[in-house]
Amino acid sequence: MKERLIHKYVNMAIAAVWIINGLYCKVYNGVPRHQQIVARILGADYAGILTRTIGWLEVLMAVWVLSNIKSRWCAVSQIFLVFAMNVIEFLVVPDLLLFGRMNIVVATFFIFIIYWNQFGFYRTNTNC
pLDDT tens for 32-46 read 999 999 999 999 999
Within-domain flag for 19: yes
pTM: 0.88
- Domain enclosing residue 87, as ranges: 2-120
Within-domain flag for 100: yes
The mean predicted confidence, pLDDT, of the chain is: 93
Tally of domains in the chain: 1
Within-domain flag for 126: no
CB-based contact 100:94 (threshold 8 Å): yes
pLDDT beyond 90 at 15 = yes
Q: How confident is the model at residue 4 (pLDDT cuts 50, 70, 90)?
A: confident
CB-based contact 56:27 (threshold 8 Å): yes
Please give the average per-residue pLDDT across 91-102, as a whole number: 94
Residues 6+ apart with CB under 8 A from 83: 107, 111
Within-domain flag for 125: no
Within-domain flag for 127: no
Within-domain flag for 11: yes
Sign of the C-alpha dihedral computed for residues 106, 108, 110 and 116 taken in this order: negative
Within-domain flag for 29: yes
Within-domain flag for 128: no
